[in-house]
């Protein structure tokens, strides 16, 4: 959910409920249109969702450090059918 307070834009994460302040571009990149609804996801929830989707699809994501946080270094495929 997006709300504006005193020209500041706030978005509430649809998964964890965390409310954060965004600039227009950052909020736009964190907002997803799912079944006609605008869903905002905070960065940790975006990362967790990516990890779950990748694992289920046979995609391996290598991160900058071993804790599976931080920047993505490379993406590989565990399933040779995926090209």
Q: What is the pLDDT of residue 16?
A: 93
Q: pLDDT grade, residue 39 (50/70/90)? A: very high
Kindly report whether the global pTM for this prediction surpasses the value 0.75: no
Mean pLDDT of all residues belonging to the chain = 81
Calculate mean pLDDT across residues 3-13: 74
Q: pLDDT grade, residue 2 (50/70/90)? A: low
Separation of alpha carbons 69 and 47, rounded Å: 8
Q: For the ranges 33-37, 48-52, 55-59, 66-70, which has the lowest average pLDDT? A: 66-70
């Amino acid at each position: 959910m997006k709300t504006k307070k005193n020209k500041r834009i706030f978005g509430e994460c649809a998964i964890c409920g965390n409310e954060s302040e965004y600039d227009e571009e950052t909020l736009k990149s964190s907002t997803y249109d799912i079944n006609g609804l605008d869903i905002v996801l905070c960065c940790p929830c975006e990362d967790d969702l990516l990890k779950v989707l990748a694992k289920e699809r046979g995609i391996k994501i290598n991160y900058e450090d071993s804790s599976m946080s931080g920047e993505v270094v490379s993406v590989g495929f565990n399933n040779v059918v995926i090209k």
